[in-house]
Amino acid sequence: MMLTRRTFLGSAAALPFVPRRVWAASTLTLGDVRIDTLSDGNLTLPGSFLFSGMPESELTEILGRYGLSSDQATPPCNVTLLRDGTNTVLFDVGSGPDFQASAGKLSEAMDAIGVAPDDVTHVLFTHAHPDHLWGVLDEFDEPVFANAEYMIGQAEFDYWTDPGTVSTIGEERAAFAVGAARRLEAIADRVRLLADGEDALNGVVARLTPGHTPGHLAFEIAAPTPVMVLGDCIANHHVAFERPDWLSGSDQDRELAAETRVALLGRLADEAIVVTGFHLPGGGVGRVERAGAGYSFTEEI
């Protein structure tokens, strides 16, 4: 197994008076399998979206050790790309042009490593939140990945395409429901629905990790060294690791999400499984280690 981390410049770097965008990339080489994490940019979220209801004094102490504030969060967005010589697979597709201006940059990152949208053979969705799904369509509502087969969990697809979801999900997430339904409808004739434990591809198994959304999936890649693509079942490198039992406002079913985190972190640590995390630092590639009563994220693998 070989891990390399590097930075490279987007095309805007050559233009005068245009700020340079420096892309961080991590590449895992596992035999014939290559896994890249590519930046879709970052989100800007009010701290209350993540931290509401958490014990204030302990929260402040945890975040302070990471140089963070509870007022605002700017998590990175890392899209995982797998190439095995036959398949070119994206796990989630970023935000696209319609969510936040700081995100939706996947096409630039793909161009920087020489991968075109038409090269993508499969797109596997962890879940249907905007920063993971909305990049599936371009500004003209055409599928960006014209040659790809799409896969998503059965429970996730059913939830977001249910006409009743928009009226039950809550006002702050109603736009999520409208956007997800529109995009899933646009690709519905090319979507394969997955069950827990099902092989999405040879060597890639879907693992139900619910709570953040009803049918959230992680994907376990059985490379020479196993890798787990987490999505948002473990959505940050600080509170989610140190206090996985705390309830987070970012999760739709807070209690179930906490149960999922506690169980999954234990397995990842005990089995030394490499992870790629959509909102984890350093390109999102690392391992889970036990640390006292909780866990820590390490970029050393």
Residue 21 has a pLDDT of: 53
Quote the domain boundaries for residue 171: 2-14+23-298
CATH code of residue 152: 3.60.15.10
The dihedrals phi and psi of 226, each to the nearest 5 degrees, come to -60, 145
- Using a CB cutoff of 8 Å and minimum separation of 24, what contacts does 116-119 make? 117/144, 117/145, 117/146, 118/145, 118/146, 118/147, 119/88, 119/147
What letters, b where the CB count within 10 A reaches 16 and e where it falls short, cover 245-279? ebbbbbbbbbebbbebbeebbeebbeeebbbbbbb
Residue 99 has a pLDDT of: 96
pLDDT tens for the 301 residues of the chain, in order: 777 877 775 544 443 333 445 566 788 998 899 999 999 999 999 999 999 999 999 999 999 999 999 999 999 999 999 999 999 999 999 999 999 999 999 999 999 999 999 999 999 999 999 999 999 999 999 999 999 999 999 999 999 999 999 999 999 999 999 999 999 999 999 999 999 999 999 999 999 999 999 999 999 999 888 999 999 999 999 999 999 999 999 999 999 999 999 999 999 999 999 999 999 999 999 999 999 999 999 998 8
Residue 82 · residue 89 · CB < 8 Å: yes
Residue 26 has a pLDDT of: 86
pTM of the model: 0.94
- The total of structural domains in the chain comes to 1
Question: Where does residue 203 rank: exposed (0-12), middle (13-18), buried (19+ CB within 10 A)?
Answer: middle
